[in-house]
Amino acid sequence: MTEADRTELMIGRYAIVSTLYRDSFSTVYRAMDNDLGRAVAIKVPPDEFGNDRLHEEAVVLSKLDHRSVQVVYDIGYHGCFRFIVSELTERSLDEEIHSAYSDGNRPTVSELSNWLECLAVVAEGLDYCHRRGYIHRCLSPRAIRFTRNGSPCLHHFELAISRESACEGEFVGIPAYMSPEQARTSPLITAASDIYSLGVILFEALTGERPRRGTALSLLSRVANGSEIRRPSKVWPDIPPQLEEVCLHCLRNDPSERYQSAAELAVELRRWNQGCQSSSLGQAFISHSSTDREFVEREIISLLERNGVRTWYSKVEIHSAKDWERTLRDGLENSDWLVFVMSKSSLQSEWCRDELFWAIDNFDKEKIVPVLIDDVRPEEFHIRLTRIQHVDFREAAAAFEAARHSLLHAFLDKS
C-alpha cells in the first residue's frame, strides 16, 4: 500500500494520516479520531499471526496506569487485523540521540540533562511496572517516546510478561540491549534485567555508542558470556566519573549487584543531575571573539558544564562599549574563573583585551585559564600569560582528548 493509499484509509472511525514508524512487531500510524477530533497513534501487526501478541500487549497496558507508561484508548479489528489506538507520540529517544551525535557532534549540556531526567522518569515507570508484577524485556531508546508536550513515555510492551510466566529457553529481546541472563535464556528474568537494559541506554546517551559492538549473533554470544564492556570514558574521556559509575552499576553481569530497583536508579540519576547543576567548582567567564563562537560552544562550554563548572557565556552581540559595560562586566564580576580563548581573532578584539586586563587586575592568576586555538603567542596578549600554563587546542581532532583533559583539570586541580 502506498503512502497516498494510506492517507485515504479509514480504520473504524480513525482516518490514517501518515506512518509514524515501523519495527519487527508492528507498523504505527498517525491518525485522526473523527468522533473526538483528536490525533492518535494506531498500531497494527505486520500480519494476522501478530494479532495475539498485540492483544496481549493491550491487556498488559490496560492494567498499568502511570504517567510514563503508554496510554491505550481503544482496541479492535479491521478486517482480519487487530489494532490498538493510543496516545500520539512525536519522536523517540533513539532519534534524539542519533541527531545529537550526528556528523561528529555531541549533545549540549541541556540535552544531556534532559535525557538524564527522561531516564529517571522512565525508571520510575519501570519500577511501577515491576511492582505490578511485569517485566518489560524489550527496552531500547526506540521504546522511549515523547508525547506532544515532551513527556517521556514507555512503549513496546509486546514482550512484557508477568514474573510468574517467565519460561526457560525462551529467547526474547533486542541483543544489543539484553542482559546476560536474557541472552542465556535463563528462566530467572527479573526486574534487574530491565535495569541492565536501562544501563545500555544510559551508556548510549552518554557516548552515542553502545557498550558492545558487533552483529546480533556475536553480541548474543558476548553478552551471554559476560564479556567485559568498555567504560563510557573510553569513548569520551570527559564523562564525569560519578555518572560513569551509575551507568556501570546497571551493567554488572550479576543481577544481584545491580541497583536493587529501578526507583533506586531514578534517585541516583536525579542526584547526579541536580548535583551537577549546583556544582561547587564555581562559574567561569568565557572570553572569546565572535569568530570563535562555534568552537567555543562545541569544545569548551559543553566540556565544562558537563563536568559541573557553570559558565557565564553571552550570546548577545556586542556592538558598543556601552553594551560591553552592561552585559560582560556583570558576567566578569560574578565569575570565579576566566577562560581566555587566544586566537588571531581575539588578538584583534578590543573587548577581549579589555576582559583579559580586567581579569588580570582582579583575579588570582590560578583562576585564569588561557586556551590556545591558533598560532599566536601568549605574550602577544599580555606578558603575564607567558607565566600561566595554557591549554593547547591547536592540534588535530585526534589529539583533542589530551587538550580536553588538560582544560578540565585546570579547574579540578585548582579548586
Cell of 289: 571573539
Predicted TM-score (pTM) of this structure: 0.69
Segments of the chain scoring below 70 in pLDDT: 1-8, 163-171, 275-281, 306-308, 313-329, 395-406, 408-415
Tell me the per-residue pLDDT of 182-223, one tens digit each, with 9 for 90 and over.
888 777 788 999 999 999 999 999 999 999 877 777 777 777
**Containing H/E element for 157?**
none
Instruction: Tell me the pLDDT of the chain averaged across its residues.
Output: 83
Per-residue confidence (pLDDT) for residue 398, from 0 to 100: 45
The sign of the torsion formed by the CA atoms of 83, 89, 92, 95 equals: positive
- Which regions of 79-160 does DSSP assign to beta strands (E)? 81-87, 89-92, 134-135, 144-147, 152-154
Tell me the per-residue pLDDT of 309-331, one tens digit each, with 9 for 90 and over.
778 765 455 556 566 566 666 77
Please tell me the distance from the alpha carbon of residue 329 to that of residue 340, in angstroms, as a whole number: 15
**Containing H/E element for 323?**
helix 321-323
**CB burial of residue 412 (10 Å; 0-12, 13-18, 19+):** exposed
Per-residue confidence (pLDDT) for residue 336, from 0 to 100: 81
* Cβ neighbours of 376 (radius 10 Å): 16
Quick check: 322 and 361 in contact, CB under 8 A? no
Cell of 381: 596578549
Domains of the chain: 3-87 (3.30.200.20), 91-277 (1.10.510.10), 283-412 (3.40.50.10140)
Per-residue confidence (pLDDT) for residue 4, from 0 to 100: 39
Please tell me the distance from the alpha carbon of residue 61 to that of residue 109, in angstroms, as a whole number: 34
Please tell me the distance from the alpha carbon of residue 355 to that of residue 339, in angstroms, as a whole number: 10
What secondary structure does DSSP assign to 182-226, as a single string? HHTT-S---HHHHHHHHHHHHHHHHHSS-SS-S-HHHHHHHHHTT
Per-residue confidence (pLDDT) for residue 284, from 0 to 100: 85
How many helices (H) and strands (E) the chain has is answered by 17, 16
